[in-house]
């Protein structure tokens, strides 16, 4: 158990819908990262937040957005969902923006039908 929690574990929704994925980092960790793992594109970095502020953006679509709240939990919002958005979405956390390891949550499996 990494100490990072993600909810829900599984999510099934239809195309065009909007969903919110939630992540709670390890106690004391200020940075949160979101990754997408799909079969055809491997593990892709989406976005990073540090203490409530966006720090870096990776391959995140405009239909996706994220935020980190004062209690440091983070939410990833996915809208106008397409079949290709079906993937495993990981959240990871680390102590700081200059920290070493990123500890991964168990992931949320999103299926878009």
Partner 1 sequence: AQTVTQSQPEMSVQEAETVTLSCTYDTSESDYYLFWYKQPPSRQMILVIRQEAYKQQNATENRFSVNFQKAAKSFSLKISDSQLGDAAMYFCAYRSRGTSYDKVIFGPGTSLSVIP
Binding residues for partner 1, per CB under 8 A? 2, 31, 33, 42-43, 45, 48, 50, 55-56, 58, 88, 90, 92, 94, 97-104, 106-107, 109
State which residue, 2 or 79, has the beta carbon closest to partner 1.
2
Q: Compute and round to an integer the Cα radius of gyration of the chain.
A: 13
State which residue, 2 or 20, has the beta carbon closest to partner 1.
2
State which residue, 81 or 108, has the beta carbon closest to partner 1.
108
Cβ 80 to partner 1 shortest distance, Å: 25
Cβ 112 to partner 1 shortest distance, Å: 18
Cβ contact 64:87 at 8 Å: no
Please list, in sequence order, all residues whose beta carbon lies within 8 angstroms of the beta carbon of residue 20, skipping any fewer than 6 positions away. 75, 76, 77, 78
What is the Cα–Cα distance from 68 to 52, expressed in whole angstroms? Answer: 5
CA torsion, ordered 108, 95, 46, 66, to nearest 10 deg:
80
Cβ 16 to partner 1 shortest distance, Å: 27
């Amino acid at each position: 158990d990494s100490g990072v929690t993600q909810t829900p574990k599984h999510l099934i929704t239809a195309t065009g819908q909007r969903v919110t994925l939630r992540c709670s980092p390890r106690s004391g960790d200020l940075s949160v990262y979101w990754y997408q793992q799909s079969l055809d594109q491997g593990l892709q970095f989406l976005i990073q937040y540090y203490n409530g502020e966006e720090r870096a953006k990776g391959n995140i679509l405009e239909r996706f957005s994220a935020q980190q709240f004062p209690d440091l939990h983070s939410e990833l919002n996915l809208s106008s969902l397409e079949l290709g958005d079906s993937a495993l979405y990981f959240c990871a956390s680390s102590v700081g923006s200059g920290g070493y390891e990123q500890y991964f949550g168990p992931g949320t499996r999103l299926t878009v039908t």
